[in-house]
Structure formats: C-alpha cells, structure tokens
Amino acid sequence: MKTAISPAAAAALIPDGASLMVGGFMGVGSPHRLIEALASAGKRGFTLIANDTGRPNFGVARLVSAGCVSKVIASHIGLNPETQKKMFAGEIEVELTPQGTLAERIRAGGYGLGGVLTKTGLGTLAQEGQRVIDIDGEPWLYAPPLKAEFALLACDCADYNGNLHFQLTATNFNPLMAMAGGVVIAEPREILPVGALPPDAVDTPGVLVDHLIERPKI
C-alpha cells in the first residue's frame, strides 16, 4: 500500500541538478500540479527528458520559464519560443532527438538494453557527433539508452498499490518512463481502492511506482 503525498512533498524529494523524465505530449498526460510545485520551489539545474517543452505556460514549459532547467533532451521545441530563446542565449543546452528514436532510447534504458540502432537521421544534422556502426555493409546510427533519476508521470487513475492506468495520448511516453526512472512519482486524476482497477486495465504495475500524488483538496 502506498500513501498519497502532496505535490509540494513530492517536489521536496527532488534535488537541484536531478535528471527528470516527464511524461506527456504537448502537455497532455503531464503531471501539471507536480510541475507547478517544482517551479514554485525554485529548483535549479534539471536535465529534462521529455517529448517536447510544451507551449508557453503549459506543461513542462513552466519549468523552463521558472529557470529550473539547464539541459533538455526532446524531439522538438518548436511550440515553445522561450525554450528557443534560452537555447540561443546559451542558458539551456538542447539535444534534439527524432521522436521515435527518443521513445526507443527511453525503452532501452528501462529494459536494460545497450542502446538502439536506427536509420533515422543518417546523412542529416542528426548524425553529427553520433556513432555510426557498420552491419553487413550497411550504416546504422547508434543511439544510447536514456535513464533518469526521477520519472514524473500523469495517469487517469491509480490504486493504492500504485498500479496505473493511462488514457489516449498519455500512453505515448508515461509507461516507458516508468521503466526508465529511478524514482517514479505518479499524479493520478483519481485514486481507487485496491481491487477496483481491473488487472487488464493496469498499464504500469505498482512495483515500479514509488509515490502517488494526492488528489486536489476541494
């Protein structure tokens, strides 16, 4: 059984300089209350691994705006001009990775694999600085696995054993990050009694989840 904690208590567990995987796709499926707690706590020096950096004042963009992030690993930053400005100003380091490759790198980190071989990016700017491996006379780009000290997730519902269920777009990155994060913190829309979540609905088993965020107090 897990005890649900407040967003502020969860934010206090995360030190400056930590590496964070944050689920979501343009802010959909992101743990917004936990993100706000981190921004309000004035944390600094995060390495942020996410599909994107949201759009202004939404999703992980709050961490960028609050100056919490020093490095971003993402598939694109095109909808957040603030990330772009900080990158050009040298305030944030940005590592862009093709979206499918990013997902596979996270999966490799969670599954204990040595990396990913892909054709995506060969002969483009994405190849610069990357290792090219020859297999049977064909070139492949090697993409190393990704892990993080913390995985911050959002889910539709959870039970008090920590089992999680995701819906729609939230399924894209959250389950993968649950495997690749050292400490997994999930923010559910609803917390159900143990036994109320059907086994077939469990997308991430509770053994992977360390903390649940309590529901907002009304």
pLDDT category at 22 given cuts 50, 70, 90 is very high
pLDDT digits (tens, 9 = 90+) for 47-73: 999 999 988 889 999 999 999 999 999
From the list 37, 35, 27, the residue with the least C-alpha distance to 74 is 27
* Cβ-proximal residues to 67 (8 Å cutoff; 6+ apart), any chain: 44
**Rounded to a whole number, what is the distance in angstroms from the first to the last CA of the chain?**
24
Q: Domains of the chain, with CATH numbers?
A: 17-96+147-213 (3.40.1080.10)
Say how many C-beta atoms besides its own lie within 10 A of residue 217's C-beta. 5
Let me know: does 176 contact 110? Beta carbons within 8 Å.
yes
pLDDT grade for 157, boundaries at 50, 70 and 90? very high
The model's pLDDT over 86-137, given as tens digits with 9 standing for 90+, comes to 999 999 999 999 999 999 999 999 999 999 999 999 988 888 889 999 999 9
- pLDDT, one tens digit per residue, over 158-194 is 999 999 999 988 888 999 999 999 999 999 999 999 9
